[in-house]
Structure 1
Amino acid sequence: MPEYLTPAVYVEETSFRARSIEGVATSTLGMAGLARYGPISYRFNADEYVVQPPPLITSYGEFERAFGGLGPVKDDTNYLAFAARAFFANGGRRLYVSRVFNFPRGDGGVIDDEDFDACFARRPVGPEPDAGPGAEPPPRPAWQARWPGSAGRDIKVEVTVRRGRDVVVRDADGAFVRLSTVRPFDLVQVSDEDAVPTGAPDPDDIRLVQRVGDDLRLTDDDGVADIGADTKAYLLQLQVVVTWAGRSDVYTELAVHPDHPRAITRALGLKDAADDLALVWLRLPIPDPDEDDADAPGPIAAAATLLADLLDGDSQGFLSEGGNDGADLAVGDFAGEQADPDDPRKGATGLNALTDVDDVAIVAMPDSVRFGTDMTAVGLLIEHAERQRYRIAVVDPPRDSSISDVRQFRAKFDSRHAALYYPWVEIIDPTVVPDAGSPPPVLRLPPSGFVTGIYARSDIERGVYKAPANEVIRGIRRIETNVTFDRQSTLNPEGINALRFFPGRGNRVWGARTLSSDPEWKYVNVRRLFIYLEHSIEKATQWAVFEPNNERLWTSIRRTVEDFLFIQWRDGALLGSRPEEAYFVRCDRSTMSQNDLDNGRLICLVGVAPTYPAEFVIFRIGQWTADAQRS
């Protein structure tokens, strides 16, 4: 209890309400798969890692900016991009994407440095230095793609210089007074001409602004530079324009000196860049420790040389060197590598990168169809959902599956955290321009992107307790296989959710079952409702840990959970005409023994009656005559 040591009036705040439980998000999707370009965690060298968690995408436009458009990946359909497009078209709002990429590996699974560098497109900066006959030329600075992939060769970099006004302030007699509108480590160009210089600045005319005592002065590698009576100094700032696939990023007011707050090597660096989704970075050669420092240029001369190299005409243009899509992918690449708990520099990849994203409630991997009937890829996805507990996996059937094929495929799985949808769907291919008078080009896609969008739409419009079925599928031309009433009578009992066409009602999802053999977890909405309840209660009751384990705490826990479940019952998520019929919460001596209390365990027993979907709506109709009595 608080201490009262001095006689006085004490006013204290207290609460007479139970702590509230805020429901977690249920419509956030996480996907892992191949992309044309984009963020991925990788090991740059022996000492450096690039750690990039899966970015949050809230529209298909953001997906295009981060991962490119619908163009092919490894000369095949870009299933991930089409799935993201379908997800947002069908009502999805939040998506986390984990890109999968396989760097070439040599013997023993070690990534060779040359093969690693070949995955990144680049463009050297400045003229190639003369190394002499038979000698290897020293490395040059280069614009390098920040992420691996052949799409990096389509990135274009253009660098221009902008000059500000004269920064030298003089008195009435023309004597130097101070420098204006500059800060330390700015580069300026000095000139004795009245006209503002144009073109690339001469490295001999470059000076560096540094603080000398309490004042800012122009310096060169020999010390403080003289400012003549006619000398003018113009602030030099770079503008870098990076374009790719319709995207244009403009970086302004950049400086060359590495100690400047807006240094180009910071704003466009490999790590901690100003833009997490930056396309390129400026790679500078690592100094040779064996090189004689006496032969190395001074820092101002080096900055002036780099500035001239960046503005060189041969340094502008596309990243035309290097860049490939890595080695062939294996199933295990989609699981990825786990993060190292003892080394925060190492990031997770593949499905493992989605592990630490707490918001994800739905997971999908449309690229699993690349492996045909091999169940390993789908098994990895289901294993991920089960291991994370609060997720459900949306599974795609193999390409060109018949009714018999999909039944055999489904028979390999038994999981309460997964749902299978059949068949594939057909869309008009937006990447192909049709010839005049010819039929529109079509493309067949797995259904997971469309279905996960419907999951999100149903959650937002109705709630997670509503089965995500009898919902219109947006953005498709037709369903690949016509699933009739009789065909679905074979699929539905086995937990295969059909996509069907109904004349006058369009294309709809016509199933809401999981891949579980347990009748308690037969329906998708029941599984997802319990995920929602369990996750919400777990997150909102963390305050109870280390509280005194007594009747006061038990009462508070009961009130908190009961208030939350009452809202769910009122909204229609639970059965029963009264709250007592819909749920119960017990947290008292009947749920805990003395041994539990002695070992610090608080046990709360919660029971809920979920609503099941009206899967079979039956009307019984018979003849009735006016003189007959009603039964």
Structure 2
Amino acid sequence: MPQALTYPGVYIEEISSGVRPITGVSTSITAFIGATLRGPIDTPVRVQNFAEFERNFGGLWRNSPLTYAVNQFFQHGGSDALIVRVSNVPGTGKATVGTEGLNLEAASPGTWGNLLRVRVDHATNPELATAEQLFNLTVRDMGTGTTERFLNVSVLLAHRRFIGKVLEEESKLVRLADPIPATRPNSTGEDGAGRDPLTVTPGSVPFNADGSDGDTIGDEQVSSGAGLQANKRGLWALEKADLFNLLCIPPFSFDEDIGVPTRVEAAKYCRDRRALYIVDPLRVWDEPADLRAETNGLDSEEWGLGRSENAALYWPMLRIPDSLQQGRLADFAPCGAVAGVMARTDSQRGVWKAPAGIEATLDGVPELKIKLTDGENGQLNPLGVNCLRAFPEIGRVVWGARTLRGADSLASEWKYVSVRRLALFIEESLFRGTQWVVFEPNDEPLWSQIRLNIGSFMHTLFRQGAFQGKSTREAYYVKCNSETTTQNDINLGIVNIEVGFLPLKPAEFVVIRIQQMTGDIPT
């Protein structure tokens, strides 16, 4: 009712319908954790193509399998990645320079900073009141050709164009380092006037060659180091990200697998964050028997991961031309390519479609490390191992869709990747889409709104073909009433919502029965 009825007439009031649409979350944001050439440490950065990855993290690097995995992700259809760079650099590992009292350091650790050059000039705006305090700073990355120029900046802390703050907010190349000079720095390279100050040696000052890439990263930098979780570093740097759906942790180097602590923590963390961990195989697995071996097989201490419903293993390794090695074939972990296939399948068919089959092609993969036969595939599939296969005419494809919980002997309801990912998608979408319920009056009007909104969301999925069943009654249900929420629950401030759905299962085994017909026999 309107707040005040003061005059005779017609009053118009808008009434809420109670509909709060639930939007489905993204399904294929893929987090990558590992070493890169450059970029912020322990900070998730979102990139949406490989060119953006090159700008932020330096592109392909022979010492980093992660960089190849990201490239394969985008090549296979991925479009959204979170990159977490971890490093094993002693000290800061940043290249530094001092010019006329102005001390600068590279924005991130790595030898890439050794190629930076800097120039200071005083061609500032003379109309500014503080012109005598200002200077211009130009920085060029000689490795990539990227140039940054900052005009009318000052070394005075109180100035609105304080160089430290400007570089922190606008530069991807350098940062101000202590000590900060009390007065503006002198111009550099005056004898190079009229020439490009950043390509002629007298026109600019090179950074010192004190940047370092550090040693090869290990479990200590990703999962097992002291204080990583508390300080949101390594794997737990993803706490700074709002959402991710797939996790890839490629081998630490081309000679070293990730360790048991990282595999275990990654699977646990994916369970907490409603994500799927795409697990790479061990390098010593050269034949199917190796996966069943007591020393390093799926049930060995060297593997250590166990059977997680939030993890899926793909085998064997991919053999792909290495552009940094004159196109020679090299072995690569499959996680990036498989994540790209999942993203492509989600986009074309939906998260409920198993990311496997003749459509799940591994583009740009001329060979697999091992060519499996049907018999060998038949040995591994019941163990929950997703095989990568090569078929005539079709090419290389993903030929398995099971979680690690998908071994036949476990008889798990989370046997299939598509079923598990659909459940995670629904859970995350409902978690975010029902936040408005908190602190609402806990009674039938609220329950009916909940049923309406969640039911609408589930009906949309049903119409898109996400569930089994010819009718909504067969496909899903939503319960929120006095049966699910008792008076005692109400007294405790609890509302219980029950949602059930009948998922689609992939047609893993196709059986065709053929019978020979006989002609009529005269009697």
Q: TM exceeds 0.5?
A: yes
* Cα deviation, residue 590, structure 1: 1.4
- Pairing partner for 1:316 from 191, 204, 229: 204
Q: Which structure 1 residue ranges, 5 or more long, are not aligned?
A: 42-52, 105-115, 127-139, 168-181, 188-207, 209-235, 288-298, 341-346, 434-439
265, 275, 279: which one aligns with 1:395: 279
Q: 1:141 to 1:513 in 2, by over 3 A?
A: same
Q: How far, CA to CA, are the matches of 2:122 and 2:180 in structure 1?
A: 28
Q: Distance in 2 between matches of 1:27 and 1:489?
A: 29
Aligned-partner Cα distance in 1 for 2:29–2:12: 44
CA distance in 2, matches of 1:4, 1:62: 57
Rounded Cα–Cα distance in structure 1 between residues aligned with 2:512 and 2:236: 49
Number of the residue aligned with 2:471: 578
Q: TM-score, normalised by structure 1?
A: 0.73
| TM-score, with length taken from structure 2 | 0.87
Name the residue aligned to 2:198.
Answer: none
Q: CA deviation at 1:241?
A: 3.2
Amino acid at match of 1:458: T
Give the structure 1 partner of residue 55 of structure 2: 65
Determine whether 1:489 maps to 2:489.
no
1:264 corresponds to 2:153: no
Q: 1:151 to 1:462 in 2, by over 3 A?
A: same
1:386 CA displacement:
1.6
Q: CA RMSD in A?
A: 2.5
Secondary structure, in 3 states, of the residue corresponding to 2:186? helix
1:362-410 per-position Cα deviation (integer Å, ceiling 9, x unaligned): 111003576448422211221221222x100000011241222334443
- Please say if residues 514 and 524 of structure 1, whose CA atoms lie closer than 8 Å, have aligned partners that are also in contact: yes
- Give 1:315 shift: 8.6
Q: Does 1:445 align with 2:332?
A: yes
What amino acid does structure 2 have at the position aligned with 1:85? N
Aligned to 2:97: 123
2:148 partner amino acid: V
CA distance 1:415–1:315, change in 2 (3 Å): farther
Change (3 A) 1:367 1:245: farther
Is this contact kept in 1: 2:355–2:401, CA < 8 A?
yes
Distance 1:589 1:247, change over 3 A: farther
Q: Deviations over 1:180-213 (max 9, x none)?
A: xx233223xxxxxxxxxxxxxxxxxxxx5xxxxx
State how far apart, in whole Å, the 1-side matches of 2:398 and 2:494 are: 44
1:251 to 134, 149, 156: 149
Other structure's SS at 2:381 match? helix
- Give SS of 2:237's match: helix
Matched, 1:528 2:421: yes
Q: In structure 2, what is the Cα distance between the partners aligned to 1:453 and 1:328?
A: 26
For residues 373 and 149 of structure 1, do their structure 2 counterparts lie closer, same or farther at Cα, with a shift above 3 Å needed? closer
- Alignment match of 1:157 (pick from 92, 117, 129): 117
Residue in 2 aligned with 1:474?
Answer: 363
Report the Cα distance in structure 2 between the residues aligned to 1:357 and 1:94, rounded to whole angstroms: 13
Letter in 1 for 2:177: R
User: 2:433 corresponds to which residue?
Assistant: 540
Alignment-derived partner of residue 566 in structure 1: 459
The corresponding residue for 2:194 is none
Residue 67 of structure 1 deviates from its aligned partner by: 1.0
Write out per-residue CA displacement over residues 62-81 of structure 1, whole angstroms, 9 at most, x where no aligned residue: 111111121233xxxx1110
Distance in 2, Cα, partners of 1:545 & 1:310? 64
Number of the residue aligned with 2:219: 331
Deviations 1:62-116 (A, max 9, x none): 111111121233xxxx111001100000011111111111344xxxxxxxxxxx2
Q: Residues 24-423 of structure 1 correspond to what in structure 2 (within 5 A)?
A: 24-41=25-42, 53-73=43-63, 78-104=64-90, 116-117=91-92, 119-126=93-100, 140-153=101-114, 155-159=115-119, 161=121, 163=123, 182-187=127-132, 208=133, 238-258=136-156, 259-268=158-167, 272-275=168-171, 278-285=172-179, 302-303=183-184, 306-308=185-187, 316-326=204-214, 329-335=217-223, 337-338=227-228, 348-367=232-251, 371-372=256-257, 374-388=259-273, 390-402=274-286, 403-407=288-292, 408-411=296-299, 412=304, 413-423=306-316
Q: Structure 1 residues 29 and 399 mapped into 2: Cα distance closer, same or farther (>3 Å)?
A: same
Q: CA deviation at 1:256?
A: 3.4
Distance 1:334 1:577, change over 3 A: same
Contact 1:156 1:244 in 2 (8 A): yes
- Report the AA paired with residue 271 of structure 2: E
Any gaps of 5 or more consecutive residues in structure 2?
Answer: 192-200
Deviates more, 1:390-399 or 1:407-416: 407-416
Aligned partner letter, 1:246: T
Contact 1:56 1:97 in 2 (8 A): yes
Please tell me whether the aligned partners of residues 386 and 400 of structure 2 are also in contact (alpha carbons under 8 angstroms): yes
* CA-to-aligned-CA distance 1:39-80 (integer Å, 9 cap, x gap): 115xxxxxxxxxxx311111111111111121233xxxx111
| Superposed displacement of residue 164, structure 1 | 6.8
In the aligned structure 1, how far is the partner of 2:86 from the partner of 2:258?
21
Deviation track 1:535-577 (CA, whole Å, cap 9, x = no partner) reads: 1111011111111111111111111111111111111110001
Q: Which runs of 4+ in 1 moved over 6 A?
A: 310-315
- Report the secondary structure of 1:553's partner residue: helix
**Inter-partner Cα distance in structure 2 for 1:237 and 1:596:** 67
Residue by residue over 1:333-377, the C-alpha shift from the partner in whole angstroms, topping out at 9 and shown as x without a partner, is 11265576xxxxxx6221101123122111110035764484222
Larger radius of gyration: 1
Distance 1:441 1:351, change over 3 A: same
Say if 1:249 and 1:380 are closer, same or farther in 2 by CA, change over 3 A. farther
Shift of 1:593: 1.9
TM-superposed deviation, 1:243: 1.3
Matched positions, count: 492
Q: Deviations over 1:464-504 (max 9, x none)?
A: 00001111011222111111111100110001101110010
**Paired residues of 1:394 and 1:452 also in contact (CA < 8 A):** yes
- Partners of 2:332 and 2:289 in 1: how far apart? 20
Cα offsets for 1:450-476 (capped at 9, x unmatched): 000111111111110000111101122
Alpha-carbon separation, structure 2, partners of 1:453 and 1:13: 47
Match for residue 196 of structure 1? Answer: none
Quickly say closer, same or farther: Cα 1:366–1:2, change in 2 above 3 A.
farther
Mapped to 1, the partners of 2:520 and 2:427 lie a distance apart of 56
Distance 2:270 2:443 in 1: 36
Distance (whole Å) between structure 2 residues aligned to residue 161 and residue 501 of structure 1: 61
- Determine if contact 1:103/1:327 at 8 Å carries over to the other structure: yes
| Gap change, CA 1:400 and 1:319, over 3 Å in 2 | farther
What does residue 190 of structure 1 align with?
none
Measured in 2, the distance between the counterparts of 1:88 and 1:373 equals 23
Structure 1 distance, partners of 2:467, 2:501, is 7
Q: Percent identity?
A: 34
